[in-house]
Structure 1
């Protein structure tokens, strides 16, 4: 998270973070201000957590779209 914090501080644009390990640490450190989530019609349990256990992240829905032919959902949130 320290490296992400430094990168965010020095960036003149948005910094994108993905992957469960780095994203979970950035969320836990309070560095996430937006979340762009893509959800499919299949869910498989297991693997690494994207959202860290015990951390609450209140979100405000900004935009959403559905793609009925594929079952894909897109949701754009800002932290509240």
Structure 2
């Protein structure tokens, strides 16, 4: 299974959690995905693919609070990568 698929699967699983561990689980999934990428460009593209895959697989949640959280979280990560590059 690719790092992208693993990340999306973990984010899907986190979408069902109702306690405070959601953020740490999402961060862990994204950290693992970023670690599998060798360049900043690959990281940014992988994060875009994660959101695209998540929003296609979970259309009902893409505009819900969790989906908006994921979109914002991935956007912050991409911005951080771009400022460091």
Relative to the length of structure 2, the TM-score reads: 0.32
- Higher percent of residues as strand: 1
| TM value normalised by structure 1 | 0.33
Which structure's residues are more often helix, by fraction? 2
